[in-house]
Structure 1
Amino acid sequence: MASATVPVIGKRKRQDAVGKASKSKKPASEPAVNGKKKSAAAKQDGAGVPSKPVATASGSPQDDGPIFVQIVTGSYERTLHGISACIPRHLLQPQPHAHESTQETPATEVAFSDTFLFAAHSSSIRCLAVSPPTEADKRFLATGSSDERINVYSVSTAPPKQEGKLALPSLTATAVTENPRNRSLGSLIHHDRAITCLDFPAKGKLFSAAEDNTIAISRTRDWTVLSSIKAPIPKAQGRPSGDTAGPGETPAGVNGFAIHPSQKLMLSVGRGERTLRLWNLMTGKKAGVLNFDRSLLVQVGESKYSSGEGRQVLWTTDGEAYIVGFERGAAVFGIDSKPKAIIRPSPSTKLHQSRVLRMGGEDGSEIFTTSTEDGRILFFDVAVPEQSEDETKLPSCTCLAQLGGQAAGISGRIKDFDILRLGDADGKGRSTLLVVTASSDGAVRLWTMPDAIEAVKSGSPTNGEKTNDGTSSPRQVGTLIATLETGSRITCLGAFVLDGKASADASNGQDDANLGADEDLAPSESEESE
């Protein structure tokens, strides 16, 4: 494995850029360099978990104006598509009982515009990650592909200008609102295989995993690889005697990882092995290995012909439990690494992307949300239920509600989704959840739902529909407010609220010369020698 990384900007060029920024009369760029004062939103996002917790925002800078949301999608066609959605505030009032009218939602209520669209990689884009906001009203965007590269971009958080929507020509009816502050920062090539997972646990660190069984930690100040964790390559099991595959060509790679909220521990699951690995981020060493029991794999839907490998791992927001996702189910483990409950969709279907959500309200319940092959978003209560009479079987978590599916006229799989919490979006002091879903058929849909567990439990009924095992289907929640057909087979998605302020010198991008996002880190040795 090549441990070197290609810097996105050379030393001489970076010094010239910093010199230009120092000559600027704009005082707003100083906090991005000194970083002594942090906003409350930045502190909250900086201590997040890699399960992509719900973003919290108060909406647009104008309290009575619309809310702008930036959506970024990657696809099999190698294209990176940035979409800006202008959402009127009257659409952000959740209506739990209005799912029957989702197909009659006017298409002109939410205005979509393209911010960027280009071929970012030479192969399909497999994952992407968006960093927490920085003091410079920008976010870092990282994309991973099968071409072994990680592309890094700087994306502005300023809402698009309304008067400039039709300034650029377009082949489609969608307007184009290009922002000059959206810039490409370069590529990182410290992995030797396809990139599988990316995450910004804090605004100054980027964690990346690949099929070369390594997890690299990069610093966003100069994009230097601080450390690289090497997981062991699993031994081949059950291969036929006539297999002619060469050494090292067995299924290998890190499927996913999760960083504890304290940022001192990390969990990882890999291909070709039925284990979970615990890493100490303070020393970079392995701290433990947990083997999945056969009875547990059977209860989460893994047959004897399945691989039994973990596809995804998530920490809860309080760090007291974690969830390991498999192909058709998931298992909840306590902090003592003992299984507490299982999560199974009904009817049985394949799981794709998962998130951990802490609902609003008095109790603040932990909710496990996952997208399925049949076009649904399922919401499970992570609270461990009472033990059943049969001690050999683990209790099942309750499915509180579902969003989408056949009840909303959606049957295609939801490949990825993101959830944004909009504080006081309806002007009545209540929070609203905006769910952005991306399907493999190229459709991006926006949903609204209440940010309260009581409202989710009292969602609209499903007209007595029964599943194959005779149980009732989960209640339907959420209201579809907009749909956009991108024309690409979407593989990954990221979204955040455009709540920043436009810069006076945004045309020349001088404020983007300061690439640093973590002021607590000391400069590298090469910079000190200069």
Structure 2
Amino acid sequence: MAKLASKKSEVHSNKRARIEVTKSPKRGAPTSRPQAKQITTVEATSKPQKPSKSKGKEKAVDSTTDGGSLADESTTPPRTFKIVTGSYEKLLYGLEGSTTVSDGEFGYEIHIKPIFAFPAHVSCIKAVAASPNGGKWLATGSTDEIIKVWDLRRKKEIGGLMHHEGSITHLNFPSRSHLLSASEDGTLCLFRARDWTVLRSLKGHKGRVNSVAVHPSGKVALSVGKDRMLRMWDLMRGRGSASTKLGKEGELVRWSTDGSLFVVQAQSTIDIYDTTMTLIRTINHPSRLHDVRFCKRVNGEGEVLLACAEDKKTSIYEVTKNDVPLRIVGIMTGHTNRVKAVDTLAISLPASTPSGRSTTTIVTTVSSDGNVHVYDMAALPLDSTSKEVLEIKPAASYSTKGTRLTCVTLADGEVLTSAADLAKKRKHDEEVESDDSENDDEWAVEDQDQDQDQDQDQEEEEEEEEEREED
């Protein structure tokens, strides 16, 4: 695949973002040798949004956020899933996961298989994120200062967002139609996925922004950076709403699943805050931490906190609402080097599962050892009163043969709820295969021809024409 140049783009005062759009070759193009991708530049300008008129002192809601929130409504968990992980070696790996009925402990097995691997950037990949509720969009960020956007369904590169003037440090899809990015240039950017327009450029940090997290409501976000500040942002108005000094450089910030708590991780400590930004308690982990994430329990109510660390393990902390010190109730083992990142996803199980369970939650971790592990949260029992720490082993694994993995994201796969849905999917797959029989492996080898579907090209040209007419 042809690479985009890592050239800094100018940041304009009117919030312009340059998007490099990849055009696929037309039908009938010579296939004797790979063709370089044609790159065109599109200027997408964010237009000021007028606040809605309302009585009293109610806050104005940005009309771009579909009713005052970036959050998507929950959908049926997918039957399959995708794992995408980036590496220091610039390689992007994609895996596909599924479940089948078995005679095992839970009555089902989890399987993962590779679907692509290729150099996606010209420098180290630092962040990956997939859009929720469908998993159509994939965004990857690198030290080359570019955010690459991919269409996971069509296995196609859309282009590069070159708004930041520093390495990309964090990416987050608060909804399937919005992307939030953080960079070493000290800014946060909110993009609209429909046309990749910059809706908001949030400035306030002095120096590198390390992490950003959006509240489950989609209305506010938190960020931490090199300036040792914790900042809260009003995404509806596009400005800062609160800030507090941490006294140390926060490396990561995460909301709990219900939005009632959040944590800030720095080195080997985890500080837990409530929504008023008041420090509640501190966890001193026995090893250097690299990632933390809240996860709902499968057995019983409540949630746990997953902590990936230098000790080659992912520790599971029981989260309690009272003042009882948090303790480790389980550890996820299997890696032979530091665990760098973790992500979670709820999935549906086969209807014929002997246990009668309809859903579960998977946990995916990646490590500097080059391995991808998938764990099943169903292995964590309801009873947490035992003082013995439970060891949970991987339910499925994949080896990249020593690639130093840095980040990971989980994306929805297929949601099959009926025989009609299955028949529809099969018909769609047959049509795609008929249009382009060579499209299956286009991400497996560098510099291979892109998808040659003429109908898709025509659709893209029509969309561009509509945008020009609107402008």
Distance 1:9 1:120 in 2: 15
For residues 145-171 of structure 1, the C-alpha deviation after alignment (integer angstroms, 9 at most, x for no partner) is 000001010112xxxxxxxxxxxxxxx
How far the C-alpha of 1:110 sits from its partner, in A, is: 7.0
For residues 380-439 of structure 1, the C-alpha deviation after alignment (integer angstroms, 9 at most, x for no partner) is 1232333xxxxxxxx6322221111xxx5x441111122232334544332333222211
SS in structure 1 of the partner of residue 271 of structure 2: strand
SS in structure 2 of the partner of residue 506 of structure 1: helix
The aligned counterpart of 2:238 is 284
The aligned counterpart of 1:259 is 214
Residue number among 252, 263, 277 corresponding to 1:337 in the alignment: 277
Structure 1 letter corresponding to 2:117: L
8 Å Cα contact 1:110-1:482 kept in structure 2: no
Q: Which has the bigger relative contact order, CA under 8 A and spacing at least 6?
A: 1
The aligned counterpart of 1:402 is 331
Residue number among 195, 209, 220 corresponding to 2:182 in the alignment: 209
For residues 457-515 of structure 1, the C-alpha deviation after alignment (integer angstroms, 9 at most, x for no partner) is 669x4xxxxxxxxxxxx332345443434431111112234315352432445469778
The aligned counterpart of 1:230 is 203
- Mapping 1:74-223, distance limit 5 Å: 74-85=86-97, 87-90=99-102, 93-94=105-106, 113-134=113-134, 139-156=136-153, 181-223=154-196
8 Å Cα contact 1:444-1:486 kept in structure 2: no
Distance 1:513 1:264 in 2: 36
The aligned counterpart of 2:439 is none
How far the C-alpha of 1:183 sits from its partner, in A, is: 0.6
C-alpha distance 113-453 of structure 1, shift in aligned 2 (>3 A): closer
The aligned counterpart of 2:407 is 492
SS in structure 1 of the partner of residue 102 of structure 2: helix
SS in structure 2 of the partner of residue 368 of structure 1: strand
Q: What value does the CA root-mean-square deviation take over the aligned residues?
A: 3.3
8 Å Cα contact 1:155-1:182 kept in structure 2: yes
8 Å Cα contact 2:167-2:184 kept in structure 1: yes
The aligned counterpart of 2:337 is 412
How far the C-alpha of 1:315 sits from its partner, in A, is: 1.4
Query: Does structure 1 residue 356 correspond to structure 2 residue 294?
Result: yes
SS in structure 1 of the partner of residue 311 of structure 2: coil
Residue number among 314, 319, 328 corresponding to 2:268 in the alignment: 328
How far the C-alpha of 1:379 sits from its partner, in A, is: 1.5
Distance 2:401 2:110 in 1: 15
The aligned counterpart of 2:84 is 72
For residues 32-67 of structure 1, the C-alpha deviation after alignment (integer angstroms, 9 at most, x for no partner) is xxxxxxxxxxxxx97369xxx9x97252xxxxxxxx
C-alpha distance 110-361 of structure 1, shift in aligned 2 (>3 A): closer
- Mapping 1:270-309, distance limit 5 Å: 270-271=225-226, 273-292=227-246, 308-309=248-249
How far the C-alpha of 1:456 sits from its partner, in A, is: 5.9
Query: Does structure 1 residue 476 correspond to structure 2 residue 391?
Result: yes
C-alpha distance 368-427 of structure 1, shift in aligned 2 (>3 A): same
8 Å Cα contact 2:179-2:190 kept in structure 1: yes
SS in structure 1 of the partner of residue 369 of structure 2: coil
Distance 1:332 1:512 in 2: 49
C-alpha distance 493-513 of structure 1, shift in aligned 2 (>3 A): farther
How far the C-alpha of 1:352 sits from its partner, in A, is: 0.9
Distance 2:281 2:98 in 1: 41
Residue number among 348, 366, 375 corresponding to 1:438 in the alignment: 366
SS in structure 1 of the partner of residue 382 of structure 2: helix
8 Å Cα contact 1:456-1:477 kept in structure 2: no
How far the C-alpha of 1:344 sits from its partner, in A, is: 2.5
SS in structure 1 of the partner of residue 136 of structure 2: strand
Distance 2:260 2:85 in 1: 32
The aligned counterpart of 1:373 is 310
The aligned counterpart of 2:431 is 505
How far the C-alpha of 1:86 sits from its partner, in A, is: 5.0
How far the C-alpha of 1:113 sits from its partner, in A, is: 4.0
C-alpha distance 381-114 of structure 1, shift in aligned 2 (>3 A): closer
C-alpha distance 383-505 of structure 1, shift in aligned 2 (>3 A): same
Moved more, 78-87 or 204-213: 78-87
Structure 2 letter corresponding to 1:123: S
Distance 1:196 1:261 in 2: 21
Distance 1:224 1:330 in 2: 35
How far the C-alpha of 1:121 sits from its partner, in A, is: 0.6
- Mapping 1:448-467, distance limit 5 Å: 448-450=376-378, 454=382, 461=388
8 Å Cα contact 2:373-2:394 kept in structure 1: no
Structure 2 letter corresponding to 1:281: L
Structure 2 letter corresponding to 1:115: I
How far the C-alpha of 1:196 sits from its partner, in A, is: 0.2
How far the C-alpha of 1:445 sits from its partner, in A, is: 1.9
Relative to the length of structure 2, the TM-score reads 0.72
8 Å Cα contact 1:419-1:434 kept in structure 2: yes
8 Å Cα contact 2:370-2:403 kept in structure 1: yes
From the two aligned structures, give the one with the greater strand fraction.
Answer: 2
Structure 1 letter corresponding to 2:376: T
Structure 2 letter corresponding to 1:143: T
Distance 1:337 1:374 in 2: 30
Structure 2 letter corresponding to 1:47: A
The aligned counterpart of 1:38 is none
